[in-house]
Structure 1
Amino acid sequence: MTAATRNDVPVVIEGNGVEVRTKPIGGDLSVGFIRLPKGTHMGPAMQGLPGDACQCPHWGYLIKGRVKMHTPSGDDIYEAGQAYYWEPGHVPEALEDSEFVEFSPTGDFAAVVDHVKAQMG
């Protein structure tokens, strides 16, 4: 079995208060520890992906804050204390300083991380 704490997981994206930490944790899943400051809209970083949206599914838990998830079928708001599933085709926007932990297919998440890092230049 594998376990990880936030501090055990390397930072893969950092800037403007955004912090993404991810590490394979077992099988084909990676754990992600994500922080988005209030007002962060990931839309610009998703430009160029299919549908200009994250194409990786995520299962997770919102520890702190509120996040609006933009999807082709409409927007949903998630709040601290909620577990979630975000299907491919989403773009997060932090309505408050937010922190969440999620589990995602390693290859799919790595592709999104690489794209976002390239957009950040």
Structure 2
Amino acid sequence: MPRTTKAEAPVSLDEEVIEGRYVELGGYTVGFETHKADLDPAPLFKGLPDDRCQCPHWGVVVSGKVIFRYAGHDEVYQQGDVYYGAPGHVPLIFDGTELIEFSPTDALNATMAVVGANMEAR
């Protein structure tokens, strides 16, 4: 049975605002994210349909808070919450937030290609 832990997952992203550790398990990517600052990443989704993340995510808020903003409403998730983030969201993330998130790898990679290009253009 495939498995991983945060300690075993390699650091794939270590920026000023986020540390991300990611492992692919059976067509899904498990992400262990530690957010080091408040972040509104909305500009990074420019170019995706409706300029919003189109990848679904299932996750657990280990600490802190995350808000998923949709066209007509916001969903707030706090420490201890298990969540589903449907396609069409833009996250708002807060300093000290730790998430464990599960995302379909293909959809995540397509989204991250756009996010990465937007990061490089900044």
Q: Same fold (TM over 0.5)?
A: yes
Number of residue-to-residue matches in the alignment = 120
Conserved in 2, the CA contact under 8 Å of 1:46 and 1:52? yes
1:29, distance to aligned residue in structure 2 (A)? 1.4
Tell me the TM-score normalized by structure 2: 0.88
The within-5 A match list for 1:53-68 is: 53-68=52-67
How far apart are the structure 2 equivalents of 1:18 and 1:25? 22
Q: Which runs of 5+ in 2 are unaligned?
A: none
**1:3 aligned residue:** 3
For residues 90 and 100 of structure 1, what CA distance do their matches in structure 2 show?
A: 16
Partner of 1:78: 77
CA distance in structure 1 between the aligned counterparts of 2:60 and 2:22, rounded to whole angstroms: 15
Uncovered stretches (5+) of structure 1, i.e. residues with no partner:
none
Bigger drift between 36-45 and 75-84 goes to: 36-45
Give the drift of 1:107.
Answer: 0.3
2:22 corresponds in structure 1 to 22
* Cα shift at 1:80: 0.6
Render the CA deviation track for 1:12-42: whole Å, top value 9, x for unaligned. Answer: 333222122222112x211111222342111
1:33 counterpart letter in structure 2: F
Letter in 2 for 1:24: E
Matches of 1:93 and 1:69, distance apart in 2 = 6
Mapped to 2, the partners of 1:109 and 1:64 lie a distance apart of 23
Identity rate, percent: 37
* CA 1:19–1:114: 2 relative to 1, 3 Å: farther
Q: CA deviation at 1:118?
A: 1.8
Higher mean C-alpha displacement, 10-19 vs 84-93:
10-19
Report if the CA contact (8 A) 1:37-1:94 is conserved: no
Quote the residue 1:111 is aligned against.
Answer: 110
Measure how far apart 1:95 and its partner are: 3.4
Is the 8 Å Cα contact of residues 60 and 100 (structure 1) preserved in structure 2? yes
CA positional deviation for 1:50: 1.0
| Richer in strand (by share) | 1
Between the aligned partners of 2:118 and 2:13, the Cα distance in structure 1 is 11
- C-alpha change, 1:81 and 1:74, in structure 2 (3 Å) is same
TM-score normalised according to structure 1 size: 0.88
